[in-house]
Amino acid sequence: MTERAPIKALAMLSGGLDSSLAVHLIKEQGIEVEAVNFHTGFCLTDAHRALGQTANRHGTPYRNEALRAGAHERVPVRVVDVSRDYLPVVTQPRYGYGSAMNPCIDCRIFMLRRARTLMEEIGARFVFTGEVLGQRPMTQHLRALQLIEREAGLEGLVLRPLSAQLLPPTIPEQEGWVDRARLLDISGRSRRAQMELAERFQIGEYPQPAGGCCSLVDANFARRLRDLYAHRDPAGVLPEEYVMLKLGRHLRLGPGLKIIVGRNEGENRFLELWRGSRWLLSTPDHPGPLSLLDGEPDEEQLLECARIAARYCDGKKEGRVRVLASRREAESRELLVEPRGEYELASRLL
């Protein structure tokens, strides 16, 4: 009797509850699972960590959830950095944006295409995801799911174990690689069914709250990102600059100049660490934030930036505030300025 090679499948694993459950369900059927986790450069957790924060207000540590889930399910996880290739998805999505700057359909197509390549490389027969029918308005309804897998060249080869019984049978089900009867029929935005399963499968550590981890769905982040791309070549934006979009107050002073004002110690530390050759402003006589100038200010702009920095320090009610501007080694200026009034800044705030 010859031994049959085990069937292998590739999981798209974010590490959230749904994809963790999907991995569990497929592994339970005796299928060999490998997982992939794509790094797009727009993950929220990464920014929190870059700022030195360790846990959210629910007490969930800022860790890579895909690796956590992989360790829990004993499934090898490949973390793949796709950030460079991902840029056109964000700047020119064929299928447009969702509520903010989230190109959800193009993003899914992009990821499934990459997954297809990897699937072939590792000898997997199909790809599966934690998608739930009707959970997200843009991508998780039947027509979108079908469009996405067709565009990715994976027609019939994308299994969604949590909703499989509500969807047309896929090739893995038709071929009997997986037992459709043991897959689920979850739909909608409620997470009750998933939480019950988590308890049954002893998945205790899934991230809270749910709701994705993509910065692009955040309206504030999207506004700043649009502004950045309007003034810079997207290809030249560095990873730390994406983190900066998530911190501080941003005020634009001209096409080539923006000031970023820290709001707490973690943000100030980050601005200082990643200042590079930029001007950094501080107020030596008053407790207050650090401000980073992104761009080359002329004299008048440097003064205006100092007034803004003065506005956000504890001396904002003083008539004159001393502001130190420094960059590189040994290049520093001392400015005495009148703090800007709050309403004067409103139009500059991004």
Partner 1 sequence: MRLGSCDAVRADHVLDVEGLFCPIPIARATERMVSVAPGEVLEIRATDPGVIIDVPAWCYSSGHEFLGYYREDPRLRCWVRKSAAGAPSVSGPRRP
Check residue 45 for interaction with partner 1 (CB under 8 A). yes
Q: Identify which of residues 130 and 339 has a Cβ nearer to partner 1 in the complex.
A: 130
Strands 257-261 and 279-282: unpaired
CB of 3 to partner 1, least distance (A): 15
Q: Which of 239, 255, 276, 284 binds partner 1 (CB under 8 A)?
A: 239
Backbone angles phi, psi at 331, to 5 degrees: -105, 105
Check residue 16 for interaction with partner 1 (CB under 8 A). no
- The per-type count for the chain, helices as H runs and strands as E runs, is 13, 11
- Report d(CA 97, CA 104) in Å as an integer: 7
CB of 180 to partner 1, least distance (A): 23
Check residue 307 for interaction with partner 1 (CB under 8 A). no
Q: Which of 33, 228, 293, 306 binds partner 1 (CB under 8 A)?
A: 33
CB of 107 to partner 1, least distance (A): 17
Report CA torsion sign: 143, 148, 153, 154. negative
Nearest to 250 by CA among 238, 235, 262, 239: 262
Check residue 37 for interaction with partner 1 (CB under 8 A). yes
Check residue 32 for interaction with partner 1 (CB under 8 A). yes
Give the range of 44-52, 169-177, 215-223, 322-330 binding partner 1 by CB under 8 A.
44-52
Give the range of 41-49, 112-120, 139-147, 286-294 binding partner 1 by CB under 8 A.
41-49
CB of 41 to partner 1, least distance (A): 9
CB of 170 to partner 1, least distance (A): 22
DSSP 201: T
Strands 126-128 and 158-159: parallel
Backbone angles phi, psi at 238, to 5 degrees: -90, 160
Question: Hey, what amino acid is at 174?
Answer: Q
Other CB atoms within 10 A of residue 192 CB: 9
Check residue 109 for interaction with partner 1 (CB under 8 A). no
DSSP 135: S
Give the range of 37-45, 181-189, 212-220, 284-292 binding partner 1 by CB under 8 A.
37-45
* Cα-only R_g, the chain: 24
Q: Identify which of residues 39 and 180 has a Cβ nearer to partner 1 in the complex.
A: 39
Binding-site string for partner 1 from residue 49 to residue 78, where x marks contact by CB under 8 A and - marks none: xx-x-x------xxxx-xxx-xxxxxxxxx
3-state secondary structure of 270: helix
- Which CA distances in Å does 116 have to 154, 159, 207? 7, 13, 27
Binding-site string for partner 1 from residue 155 to residue 194, where x marks contact by CB under 8 A and - marks none: ----------------------------------------
Backbone angles phi, psi at 279, to 5 degrees: -70, 140
- Report d(CA 261, CA 247) in Å as an integer: 8
Backbone angles phi, psi at 169, to 5 degrees: -60, 135
Nearest to 291 by CA among 250, 331, 320: 250
Q: Identify which of residues 45 and 194 has a Cβ nearer to partner 1 in the complex.
A: 45
Q: Identify which of residues 113 and 269 has a Cβ nearer to partner 1 in the complex.
A: 269
Nearest to 73 by CA among 164, 205, 186, 183: 205
Check residue 131 for interaction with partner 1 (CB under 8 A). no
Give the range of 35-43, 139-147, 191-199, 319-327 binding partner 1 by CB under 8 A.
35-43
Give yes or no for a contact between 100 and 217, defined as CB atoms under 8 angstroms apart.
yes
Q: Identify which of residues 61 and 256 has a Cβ nearer to partner 1 in the complex.
A: 61
CB of 61 to partner 1, least distance (A): 7
Q: Identify which of residues 65 and 149 has a Cβ nearer to partner 1 in the complex.
A: 65
Q: Which residues bind partner 1 (CB under 8 A)?
A: 32-34, 37, 39, 43, 45-46, 49-50, 52, 54, 61-64, 66-68, 70-81, 239-240, 243
